[in-house]
Each structure stands twice: as structure tokens, then as C-alpha cells.
Amino acid sequence: MSVAQFKVETFSLGPLQTNAYLLTIKDGEQERGIIIDPGMNPKRLLERIADTTIEAILLTHAHFDHMGGVDEVRKAAGCPVYIHDLEADWLTDPRKNGSMRWQDVTPPLSTDPAEFALAEGQSLEMIGHTFRVFHTPGHSPGSVSFLCGNHLFSGDVLFKMSVGRTDLPGGRERDLYDSIRNKLYKLDSDVVVYSGHGGRTTIGFEKTNNPYTA
């Protein structure tokens, strides 16, 4: 029996309008889902998942605007959190996740540790689908992207007509461009890119039009 395609819903959360993604499928009368990057002030997201079984929270990286809602969502949903090992301690350290640097935007943030680690080449079986993990450092050392079918969740690595900043602690421009050109741009042109901020794009469009990766 074939598995139904998942539905993708976007919630722009917090003062930096960070995209949190809710991916859901219907399993009989029950709705199951995963959440990618539950950002700050996740009230709307929490209301939406009140009757949904959430299997996991996946983090593309641990900057405060992407992990600010982790503990609220984890407590409400009773689900585990996944993050790359290079940023595991960022969740518990406001100096590393950046919230200490941006005190005009947020108070210092910390969460309980993640339950599981992510790594390059890993496959995650969730909501009836397989999600491939790509380690895509540059914006931050533990940044990852998730690919399922022709859906790519790129965090703050690749944006529509732009790329992630590399001037934050742990950022490295050379690594960012290596991640984009040697991993993400190797994907099929019709792969849809869901970025950490802003609208959707495709790999093909970015390869042709992104001024930073020409």
C-alpha cells in the first residue's frame, strides 16, 4: 500500500519571522506529524497540533530563533528532539545559541538536551516517509538539511536568491558554499527548497539565478 504524501504547513514565528514547518499525514482518523525548527513564540503552532500525534522535532541548527519553542512543543507533544552533535550543547547554552548576543530581541534561551543526534547520510523513518540528512555547515557548524522526495528543508543555508550569513560564531563562508554547491546543487532541479526564512524556491531556480552561488 502506498503512503500518502505529507502536507507541509508553514508558521512564521518570533521576532525574526523564522519558518517552522509542520509536516503531516492522515493515518485513518489520526493525524501524525513532525515539526522542523519550532521557533520562538510558538502559540499558533501549539494550537494547530493539539490533536496531532507529533513523532519528532527536527532542528536544522540551534540558533535561538530556530529552537526557541523547542521545550514548549516537546512538552505539549511528548516527542523527542533531533540535532547534529556539533550543536548539541548549543541548546543548553545561551552564549552559543546566540540569545545572549541579541538581548534586544530575546531573553537568554536554553532548553533541555536533545534526545537524538543527527549525522551526514543518516536516514530517518518518520510519518511513513524517509528523510535523508545532509550535514551542510557554513551558516553554523552543525547545520543540516533534510530531504524527503523532492522536498528539501534547508534551514539557514540556502534561501530564495540568497544564502545564509557566515559572520556569526561558528560560521564559515567556504564551508557554506561547499555545502550548497557540492551537496544541495547536486540534487534534482525540481526539488522544492523550504528555507528558514522567506518563501519557497527550487534547486534549479537557485542554480540559475542565485547571485551568491553563480
CATH at residue 13: 3.60.15.10
The pTM for the full model equals 0.96
Phi-psi region of 27 (alpha: psi -120 to 50; beta: other; left: phi over 0): beta
Mean pLDDT of 179-204: 98
Confidence grade of residue 105 (pLDDT, cut at 50, 70, 90): confident
Residues 24-59: pLDDT tens digits? Answer: 999 888 999 999 999 999 999 999 999 999 999 999
pLDDT recorded at residue 49: 98
- Would residue 138 count as lying in a domain? yes
C-alpha to C-alpha distances, 183 to 88, 96, 117, 145, nearest whole angstrom: 23, 26, 20, 10
- Would residue 1 count as lying in a domain? no
Lowest mean pLDDT among 31-35, 42-46, 103-107, 122-126: 103-107
- Would residue 214 count as lying in a domain? no
Residues 143-156: pLDDT tens digits? Answer: 999 999 999 999 99
Confidence grade of residue 3 (pLDDT, cut at 50, 70, 90): low
Neighbours of 170 (CB within 10 A): 21
Confidence grade of residue 89 (pLDDT, cut at 50, 70, 90): very high
Mean pLDDT of 95-100: 94
The answer to whether residue 1 scores a pLDDT higher than 60 is no
Cite the DSSP H helix spans in 34-188: 43-48, 64-67, 70-77, 94-97, 173-182
- Would residue 169 count as lying in a domain? yes
Residue with cell 542565485: 210
- Would residue 2 count as lying in a domain? no
Does residue 125 sit in helix, strand or coil? strand
Of 94, 92, 96, 91, nearest in space to 107 by CA: 94
**Structural domain boundaries, residue 138:** 7-209
- Would residue 186 count as lying in a domain? yes
- Would residue 142 count as lying in a domain? yes
C-alpha to C-alpha distances, 150 to 56, 138, 189, nearest whole angstrom: 20, 23, 9
The answer to whether residue 130 scores a pLDDT higher than 60 is yes
The answer to whether residue 2 scores a pLDDT higher than 70 is no
Of 199, 185, 208, nearest in space to 10 by CA: 199
- Report the domain count for the chain: 1
